[in-house]
Chain A
Amino acid sequence: MLVWFLPLFLLLLMVGLPVFFALLAAPGVMLWLNGQEKDLVLLYRNTYNGMDSFPLMAIPFFMLAGEMMNRGGITMRLVEFSQALVGHFRAGLAQVNILSSMLFAGLSGSAVADTSALGSMLIPAMEKEGYTRKFAAAVTAASSVIGPIIPPSGIMIIYAYVMEQSVAALFLAGIVPGILVGTGLMVVTNVIARRNGGADFPDLRRRATWPEKGQASLKAFFPLLTPVIILGGILGGAFTPTEASAVAVAYAAVVSLFVLRSMSVKDLPDVLLKAAITSSVVLLLVGAAMAFKTVVSLSHAPEALAAFILSLSQNPIILLLLINLLLFVIGMFLDAGPAIIILGPILGPIFVDLGVDPVHFAIIMSVNLTVGLATPPMGLVLFVASSVSGERVESIARAILPFLAIEIFVIFLITYVPAISLAVPGFFGFL
């Protein structure tokens, strides 16, 4: 009987019940129908205990650090730095957009923050240079998915917590896949620009001189130091990820308030509030997911699902292909964070039993669901790119297809070449 809570959960989700309520309502109703009303208290307790976690505190802190970096000059400095490095490439400003996303990913763990911060600056600039608006918006949306792949990353912290993995290992495992996605997007941009014969693409810009490069590097120095502090602190054993995230907040505050003066003390309440609101929603989701996870294990649903999956094939290569398809479809409709919270406890153990490394599986899931943020019809960043650019979602969705193709190719590379994800954490002794 209890096993029916999964279909009920999916039904509630599909008809539009917010994920938080669906995570509690479906198991709650099934426990009640099963005559286990007394266990409802377990759902409540696990929700509370799920939120009461020190490692989880890194989420509000990284959100706060990203929010502070977002204010004012920091995004601009990253763009200028990217311009000096790749601005002279074919489709230069599009390449700048992608490289800026990769750099921005080192400061923020969110694709939405990336799209709104870089899009509001670069989409108008690209249009002014002669790019079509839909292309500019598509490049912004496609490259923003790098945000949660390159560390720090909100979804990796959630995955690590829900699945009891090391945050540091997941952060490290995301570096190469993130760079691969970025490089792939740059190659596709170049190919599109060449094939197009320059019709929609402005003339090549001149290469930045060394003094210009030096000046841009100097201006971007403080923002670019953030990922070094975060990862260096964690890897050097100086801080836990939560402490590193608090240090990142302090660093972002000092740089924004006193060094770059891009933020004033008056802005602080608003910045703190934005981070607090988003964090409270994520905390509730994670808490409810921990309660959901308990009922998942009580219901023997993973065993039933595992038996079904294994009846399709015993070959991990084919199963990984199927799971990628499933994740990709789910990613089209659901944000990466909630999808990881829901699917991680169900799918993770099945694949780990099949011999897939848990860190590798975490990256397959995270990258796949993150790319889902930019896929039609429900990709969140498509909507953000649309509101930032004023272009219709449908046109961006069409223009983004070549970029999605390369992102899907990278997902397959990550899936079938575990070293892409595992080499860096392995090198640092996290495996």
Chain B
Amino acid sequence: MAGFIGTLRGLAALNGAMLRAGRWLGILCMALMVAFILVQVFWRYILSNPLPWPEEAARFLMLWLMVVAPTALRRGGFVAIDMIQLALPRMVGGTLTLGLLLLSLLVLVVAAQIGWSEVTGFSGKFKTSALYYPTTDGWEKMPRSWMMASLLIGIVMMVSVTVELILRQIGIMAGLEDQLPIIPDTDAVGAE
């Protein structure tokens, strides 16, 4: 049992650190998105000289907001109808929750496999239209895979979070609730 709790604590600590880094990246993405669109507004409407890159750069950053989605998943912020789970007897409801978590994991694992083949495959090799990065030989157009990797990374992080949630659920059903590591800021982060 100590091994189980130890594993869960280790995974929770790993996820905690990973999600914290994701949240800071999300904050940065959000701030830069606003800045880039304001740059676009200024150049287009005030200077009448539209720039080619702000829109694509802002979309790039919006896609990378995916790195904060696992935080929402961990805090119970994914919209769901949980009436039946709550209404059922404790063990039955718990088993249903566990089943749903396993199904979520299946969806995420399949998505991660497809995501990997997409990022490393043909469509990832295309270039973005207006984004460049510096190399020793000058500026290179950014590959589309850098944008596409956002969803893949978000999904892989969600796989790790879902495994933690599954272990937690097993712990709850085994009566170890008081020994489980606490998830900070568990709240409702809904779409509304």
Q: Do A and B bind each other?
A: yes
| Distance of A250 Cα from B35 Cα, bound (Å) | 9
Cβ–Cβ < 8 Å partners of A281 in chain B? 69, 72, 77-79, 189-191
What would 6 more interface pairs be, CB under 8 Å, given A21-B107, A378-B81?
Answer: A52-B59, A53-B59, A277-B69, A279-B62, A281-B190, A284-B66
- Given A24-B107, A276-B65, A335-B191: A60 touches B151 (CB 8 Å cut-off): no
What are 12 A-B contacts defined by CB distance under 8 Å? A15-B96, A16-B97, A18-B78, A51-B63, A57-B33, A61-B33, A61-B37, A112-B192, A239-B45, A243-B37, A279-B30, A335-B79
> Does B8 sit at the interface, judged by CB under 8 A?
no
Lowest 4 CB-CB distances: which A-B pairs, in order? Answer: A246-B37, A18-B78, A337-B191, A280-B69
Q: How far is the CA of A278 from the CA of B66 in the complex (A)?
A: 11
Q: Which of B69, B82, B115 has most chain A Cβ within 10 Å?
A: B69
Q: Which residues of A contact B31 (CB under 8 A)?
A: 268, 272
B49-66 interface bits toward A, Cβ cutoff 8 Å, 1 = contact, 0 = none: 000000100110011011
Is A283 touching B192 in the complex (CB atoms < 8 A)? Answer: no
Residues of B that sit less than 8 Å from A by CB: 23, 26-27, 29-31, 33-34, 37-38, 40-41, 45, 55, 58-59, 62-63, 65-69, 71-72, 77-85, 96-97, 100, 103-104, 106-107, 110-111, 114-115, 117-118, 147-148, 151, 154, 188-192
In the assembled complex, the Cα of A61 lies from the Cα of B61 at a distance in Å of 13
Which one, A17, A47, A246, A333, contacts B34 given CB within 8 A?
A246
A284-B69 contact in complex given A51-B63, A111-B192, A273-B23, C-beta closer than 8 Å: yes
B83 touches A44 (CB 8 A): no
Q: How far is the CB of B101 from chain A (nearest CB, A)?
A: 9
A19 → B minimal CB distance (Å): 5
Q: How many A-B residue pairs have CB under 8 A?
A: 192
Q: Across the interface, which residues of A come within 8 angstroms of B103, CB to CB?
A: 12, 17, 21, 25
Instruction: Give the residue name and chain of the B residue nearest to A246 (CB).
Output: B37
CB 8 Å contact bits of A1-45 with B (1 = contact, 0 = none): 000000000001111111111001100100000000000110011
B151 touches A277 (CB 8 A): no
Taking a contact as CB atoms under 8 Å apart, the answer to whether A15 and B55 are in contact is no
Contact B190 A40 (CB under 8 A): no
Chain B residues whose C-beta falls within 8 Å of the C-beta of A12 in the assembled complex: 103
